[in-house]
Chains A and B, each alone.
Chain A
């Protein structure tokens, strides 16, 4: 198979040495089936072992290898080199996150938000496993199934200008997951999650830019989840005002 040469410009930043990040250019021979992550692996193995980046599965499942490729948040494992043929490919760390080294960003903030929305099924009273599983119909599954595809790659945060302005914003992925559990017929944790998603920096910060849903590599629509959560919150508020016992 014939080989082309890709020119890749990667952000380098070693906090112990560099005051500022800078670009380093590499030439990488590639085949038609190679992705940006393959090029980074080639650089690390053959040219410069100090290049630092995260990756794991190489197949769009683990969500570790996100970066800004030519300015757009993408998974490096899902971006083919041939798509950039004839131009220099710029690979930068994801925007809006603190950079630890080169392409590696600090995920702490997102991890804390993820825990905050309690991404697991909450039951008022757990039943012992012997009593069997909590059953669900296909129709009930359909209500939330797309939102359960999130791989926590954080590309939606890198694409969200609201998060760029205010990092306290709960953000797309965390809300999509919160909504996934709120809509799950087996879940009874609405009262626990509602205060989190409806606090000042929760869903109401979102102004429907919609780029989160554009960049999601798994076809999740976080913008939709955020707006649905707004609708649920608003109808709940009206119910609690008008109905006896808060409409429960």
Chain B
């Protein structure tokens, strides 16, 4: 070890474009960046709910019906669904459940969680908007 110290340390560090080196890294980066839309949509929703809290339900609904908000929500929905699907899949990969002799596959966790997501989302929409 001591001998190496005589020379300047040469180490190939991570370059800013490291994630373009292979497909897996790129997919990872897409997964991480789509979370930005989850955060932005959450902020939009919190703002909408604050309109309701301080004003009326009609204020909240008219904010949601604003074409810009509708457009953004649709874009956010696509990215959020992608983000959610990647994590549901990973959840299945990390925590397979043993049922009898067989073990669950990641895609099964993905499907089950998507069904749960749709159910919970419908309940939320019903409570907030349709009711």
Q: What is A's interface to B at a CB cutoff of 8 Å?
A: 13, 15-16, 21, 71-72, 92-93, 95-100, 106, 108, 161, 164-165, 207-211, 214, 224, 227-228, 231
Total interface residues on B, CB under 8 Å, equals: 23
- Which residue in A99, A106, A210 is a CB contact (below 8 Å) of B24? A210
Chain A CB within 8 A of B93 CB: yes
Q: What is B's interface to A at a CB cutoff of 8 Å?
A: 1, 4, 6-14, 18-19, 21-22, 24-25, 28, 32, 90, 93-95
Q: How far is the CA of A224 from the CA of B95 in the complex (A)?
A: 9
CB-based contact B24/A211 at 8 Å:
yes
CB-based contact B22/A99 at 8 Å:
no
Chain B residues within 8 Å of A71, by CB: 21-22
A selection of 18 A-B contacts at a CB cut-off of 8 Å is A15-B4, A21-B10, A72-B22, A96-B12, A96-B14, A97-B11, A98-B9, A98-B11, A100-B4, A106-B4, A161-B18, A161-B19, A208-B90, A209-B25, A209-B28, A211-B28, A224-B93, A228-B94
- Whole-angstrom distance between the Cβ of B17 and the nearest chain A Cβ: 12
Chain B residues within 8 Å of A224, by CB: 93-94
Chain A residues within 8 Å of B7, by CB: 15-16
- Whole-angstrom distance between the Cβ of B112 and the nearest chain A Cβ: 18
With known contacts A15-B7, A106-B4, A211–B25 Cβ distance under 8 A: yes
